[in-house]
Structure 1
Amino acid sequence: MENLLFIQTGFGVDVHGQDITKASVRAIVNAIHTNSMPGIKNLLPGQDLNNMKVNIKLAVPCDKEKLDIERVKKEIPYGTVTVEVMDGGMKTSSGIFLEDKEDKNDLMYIVNASVETGY
């Protein structure tokens, strides 16, 4: 990405089920769904949203190999999307084990996201 225009940040939690993809998707939603970029089309080449480049950075506490990158990318409706995954986030106790919520243990997963937008 040669021209960085916006950086949005968020975090997501999967309290039960220990699903790193669910926590990651929630982090991206948290980052992008409270913002509006009404003038972005005017800044992009050809004034086309599909010319946008979006780089998602995810800091995950574990289970990198279980992260569904394609599912994560689907949260971004336009442009070319790349995903970087790094160590970070947090695993901490939810305080309760709920078998009916598909818990494997009592941990909740917390993921941090940075969504960079430009062209």
Structure 2
Amino acid sequence: MEKIMFIETGMGIDVHGQNITKAAIRAVKNAIHYNSMPGMRSVLPGNDINNMKVNVKLAVPCDKELLDIEAVKEVLPFGIVTVEVMDGGMVTTSGVVLEEKGDKNDLMYIVVASVEVGY
């Protein structure tokens, strides 16, 4: 990325079900949910929103091999999206096992995201 215009951060949690992809998607949605970038198109090469570059950094506590990166990319509506995965986040207890929610144990997964936007 030649120029970073925005960095948005978020956190996502899967409280029941121990699904790392669900937690990662929630983290990315949390990072971008409250943002609008109406002037972005005017600074992009060719004034084309598809020339925007988006780099997602995910701090993931476990199950990296189960993370569906393509599903994470689908959350972002425009641009050329890349995803970096690193150690981080948290695994902690939810305090209860709810089998009807898909729980295998009482753990909840917390993922932290940083979304860099530029060109």
Q: Which TM-score band applies after superposition, normalised by the shorter structure?
A: over 0.9
**SS of 1:42 mapped into structure 2:** helix
**SS of 1:83 mapped into structure 2:** strand
Q: Deviations over 1:45-72 (max 9, x none)?
A: 1111000000000001000000000000
Q: TM-score normalized by structure 1?
A: 0.99
Q: Deviations over 1:87-111 (max 9, x none)?
A: 0000000000000001010000000
Partner of 1:4 in structure 2? Answer: 4
The reply on whether 1:13 has 2:17 as its aligned counterpart is no
* Distance of 2:80 and 2:37 partners within structure 1: 17
Per-residue deviation at 1:21?
A: 0.2
Structure 1 unaligned segments of length 5 or more: list them.
none
Q: TM-score normalized by structure 2?
A: 0.99
Partner of 2:47 in structure 1? Answer: 47
**SS of 2:34 mapped into structure 1:** coil
Q: Superposition pairs for residues 61-100 of structure 1, below 5 Å?
A: 61-100=61-100
Structure 2 unaligned segments of length 5 or more: list them.
none
**How many percent identity over aligned positions?**
71
**SS of 2:22 mapped into structure 1:** helix
* Distance of 1:78 and 1:37 partners within structure 2: 12
Q: Deviations over 1:19-55 (max 9, x none)?
A: 0000000000000011111100011011110000000
**SS of 1:57 mapped into structure 2:** strand
**SS of 1:24 mapped into structure 2:** helix
1:55 alignment partner AA: N
* Distance of 1:64 and 1:10 partners within structure 2: 18
**SS of 2:56 mapped into structure 1:** strand
Aligned residues: 119
Runs of 4+ deviating beyond 6 Å: none
